[in-house]
Copies of this chain bind each other. A is one copy, B any other.
Amino acid sequence: MDFLTILGLIAGTLTTLSFLPQVIKTWQSKSAKDFSFGMLITFSLGIFLWLVYGIGKNELPIILPNFVTLVLNSLIILIKFKYR
Which positions in A face B, CB cutoff 8 Å? 3-4, 7-8, 10-22, 24-26, 29, 31-36, 38-43, 45-47, 49-50, 52-53, 56-57
Contact between B11 and A46, CB atoms less than 8 A apart: yes
Q: How far is the CA of A47 from the CA of B25 in the complex (A)?
A: 21
Task: Please classify the interface of chain A as helix (H, G, I), strand (E, B), loop, or mixed, using the class held by over half of its residues.
Answer: helix
Point out the residues of chain B lying under 8 angstroms from A16, CB to CB. 46
Contact between A4 and B53, CB atoms less than 8 A apart: yes
Q: How far is the CA of A17 from the CA of B14 in the complex (A)?
A: 20
Contact between B53 and A39, CB atoms less than 8 A apart: no
Contact between A36 and B21, CB atoms less than 8 A apart: yes
Contact between A18 and B43, CB atoms less than 8 A apart: yes
